Structure 1
Amino acid sequence: MTGILITVVIVGGLALLLKWRRPAWYWLTFGAVIAVVRLLLRYSSVMEACGLTVPPSRLRMMAARATRTEVPSARVPRIRRLRVTRTGIVLRLKLRPGQDVFDFAASTDRLRHSFSMQGVTCREVKASVVELRMTGYDVLKRVHMPASTKAETLRIPVSLCEDGSVHYRDYRQVPHELNIGANQSGKSVHQRKLVAELATQQVALVGIDCKKGVELYPLARRFSALADNPDDALGVLEALIARMHGIYDVIRSEQRISSDVPDAEITADIWGLPEHLRPTPVVLLVDEVAELALYAGKAEEKRRDAIITALIRLAQLGRAAGIFMEVCGQRFGSDLGDGITLLRSQLTGRVSHRVNDEGSAKMAFADIAPDAVLAAVHIPTDRPGTSVIAESSGGWALTRTPHITLRQAVNACNRNAHLTPDLPELSAYRPALDLAQLKAAPAIEPVTEAA
């Protein structure tokens, strides 16, 4: 008996230690079993308490009256599949006739408390099938990305969602994105993560960092062009527009539209071009858009209007030419001048880290996902990297980017410096590495685009 008691104490102490220091390990060893047993035991009563049941059918009622038996109870949704994941439980339910997905979406908070889970989200898989994703612990407290993620060309893992899933930045689906956030909110970490992941792919990186390049110039070995002042920024944008028009000429010449050309061979973007003619995709990163939009005199105002006009043209027309944008700033509203709201309307993806006021969050989400405004305002200061991500479809999610230091991002760029393409249009703005940096790193020939 004493041996059993000692074993129980040791196992209990180990469980408490894991729950405190390694919540993921605790979930996989102890927490998942407890949660599944609790869910199955409470399922019927919780569904009834949350109003997620339907009355018995008329046929069953008539049969009960005819046989003078007990009146059948209300019916609960059927469990089609229950799956344990590394972060929680995925429960797939078959809805009863008369039930609606919105009823389950409105009851997620009550289900979270009833099943003693960290969080519950709901989505419709198909007609009459609902999936509830329940997280067993706070996955955003210590972000650990899964060991294996499905990275593809221009589709990279960026952050972890509160339901345990991975958020991917897919440039082909969402070509342009706005990223806002206050100082020390994790906006720069998010940008470093993007650069570190893109550095391993066959893409060209172009940066505009008007803070004298303190954020992007350490990553210069992987950038095809960099600008650290508004004058150079205008030159880079005009060069990208010239490149865009050149690519459209190539697309137009390769279409060869006639009655005998199959539909599958007709294209309106770079992805339908033959491999040897397809230009390298370009990702443009703007570190602080306010530095491009502010001006103090007539000369600066003229330059500012040219910069904003160029950004708008790239946002409207650049996708088909393989030019994608990441625009960062602390605020992004009409107070930055003419053309800002038009530019914002072209940025499909929206990311908001912690902001200083509700107005800043409304600038990002009020026109596409009003519910996300409140979530962005309530991001705590002790969790840098936490952000609300939304798209023009209206859906949004709370995510957190794993912390990546500037040194780690620099190492990723240096390891993949041989993938840096040499773009002829932007050769004048290619960052020049100093002699000490060249001696410290091996000479690597740049990738030159096919003519």
Structure 2
Amino acid sequence: MVAAALGVGLLVAGPTLRRRHPVAWWLCVGFPAAAWRVACTWRPLMAACGLAQSRKAALTVVSGLVGNGAPPPQPRVPGRWRMHPTSGGFWFLVRLLPGQVPEDFVKAAPAMAHDWEMHAVRVTTWRPGVVRIAATFADPLHQPRAPRQRGAGRLLQVAVGVLESGAPWVIDLREVPHWLIVGATRSGKSTLVNALVAGLAPQRVALVGIDCKGGMELALYTRRLSALATDRAQAVRLLGALVELTQDRMTICRKARVRNIWSLAEQECPVPVVVIVDELAELFLIANRTEKDESQAAATALVRLAQLGAALGVFLVVAGQRVGSDLGPGVTALRSQLGGRICHRVADSGTAEMALGDLNPDALHAAQSIAPGAPGTAVLASADGWECARSHLVTETDAEAVAAEFAHLAPSLPELADHAP
């Protein structure tokens, strides 16, 4: 009677509980039901997807049926380990049968999602011979909620959105120092930059802006910026000053006999510098000889900063609507130094190929499938793999207010004094 009453109560209060407390609903109702569906459908699902193997050769099975009238033996299916619930789904490990590869399970992921009535299923390699199957019951990218950030947080680490797994989307510049962000107009590229600047503003870092569109984008953060360039000529001079800054820091590290600034004593460690370049194409498009020289100088300086900056506390965040080899060899050289890639909805396949193709070709299809009605949704990739994510909505007004609130934290760097905004 108690079990029946509890079941009836969950059925009646289920929709309200799911709407107001989705995590509690999932753990109390959704996960037990999903575990039951997985247990019931695992063997037929593996057989239907071609992931089961017969225990006997075909002729042996036929002769056994004719001779003894016995039913055919059940095929072998991949071994499934215990399911682990998460706040928005579940995951478990699967042991591959001989001759199977993870790509076989990746192809079967849509069938798993439909059979288990889940929003999405993702298959990744756990270790040789074992894959990890993770499922989510709802789309965490539908309405991502911005976290309540208390204080500055960890240095150079910012939670900018939510991943498709429901986990926070964190950009850690100490882990991946340089990033390339691409996206068409109204794809959410500027919103992501806003979220990144809003998270870095309370930290002890110097923010440097390069916006060759007259400063229309980055001028919002003027009060928090330590330097700003609003045209290509200014950008070339500012990038040259940043290269000189890295050389000065190299001298400091060499005298202290350390390999990076993080090994210096705390009182001797220079302030980290985050360089935000908006609309990269404006730096590389040329119309005459003078612009060609400036473009080559800017490309050379950016590549040098990308090569030397990680150990010397200089980090690059390069954004643009379009990035292609037609902009010149400097773009290709720079792209190879930017280990983190974020691709929003783009207007041409070449930009997605430039951003993701050399790291994770499988991410191209996901990036080209982003709907126009989902601004902020992006595919992020690095050498470790790729994921879908969506940035928090940080408006221009919010970003400007944060920049004004923490304007007193903008450090004054002597090397960049001539470029102060």
How far the C-alpha of 1:338 sits from its partner, in A, is: 4.2
CA distance in 1, matches of 2:100, 2:336: 37
Judge conservation of contact 1:54–1:99 (CA < 8 Å) in 2. no
**Match status 1:139 vs 2:140:** yes
CA distance in 1, matches of 2:224, 2:54: 63
Residue type at the aligned position of 1:416 = F
Residue type at the aligned position of 2:34 = A
CA distance in 1, matches of 2:167, 2:123: 13
Residue type at the aligned position of 1:375 = A
The aligned residue for residue 328 of structure 1 is 319
Judge conservation of contact 2:10–2:29 (CA < 8 Å) in 1. no
CA distance in 2, matches of 1:76, 1:126: 19
Judge conservation of contact 1:151–1:157 (CA < 8 Å) in 2. no
Q: 1:268 to 1:178 in 2, by over 3 A?
A: same
Q: 1:53 to 1:207 in 2, by over 3 A?
A: same
CA distance in 1, matches of 2:101, 2:335: 35
The aligned residue for residue 87 of structure 1 is 88
How far the C-alpha of 1:172 sits from its partner, in A, is: 2.5
SS state at 1:143 partner: coil
Match among 205, 212, 215 for residue 213 of structure 1: 215
What whole-Å deviation, never above 9, does each CA across 1:242-276 have from its counterpart, x for those lacking one? 10000000111111xxxxxxxxxxx3221222222
CA distance in 2, matches of 1:296, 1:15: 64
CA distance in 2, matches of 1:219, 1:29: 46
Q: How do residues 18-417 of structure 1 correspond to structure 2 at under 5 angstroms? A: 27-28=26-27, 30-54=29-53, 73-95=74-96, 99-144=100-145, 152-255=154-257, 267-392=258-383, 395-417=385-407
CA distance in 1, matches of 2:21, 2:213: 39
Judge conservation of contact 1:23–1:137 (CA < 8 Å) in 2. no
Structure 1, unmatched stretches of 5+, are 256-266, 432-451
SS state at 2:81 partner: strand
CA distance in 1, matches of 2:263, 2:54: 55
Residue type at the aligned position of 1:43 = W
The aligned residue for residue 434 of structure 1 is none
Structure 2, unmatched stretches of 5+, are none
CA distance in 2, matches of 1:18, 1:226: 50
What whole-Å deviation, never above 9, does each CA across 1:266-299 have from its counterpart, x for those lacking one? x322122222221111110001111222233333
How far the C-alpha of 1:25 sits from its partner, in A, is: 6.6
What whole-Å deviation, never above 9, does each CA across 1:374-409 have from its counterpart, x for those lacking one? 22222111000111112245x222211121112222
Residue type at the aligned position of 2:279 = E
How far the C-alpha of 1:71 sits from its partner, in A, is: 7.2
CA distance in 1, matches of 2:381, 2:14: 37
Tell me whether 11-20 or 97-106 shows the greater mean CA deviation: 11-20
> TM-score, normalization: structure 2?
0.86
CA distance in 2, matches of 1:299, 1:99: 58
CA distance in 1, matches of 2:27, 2:228: 46
CA distance in 2, matches of 1:213, 1:21: 43
Judge conservation of contact 1:81–1:93 (CA < 8 Å) in 2. no
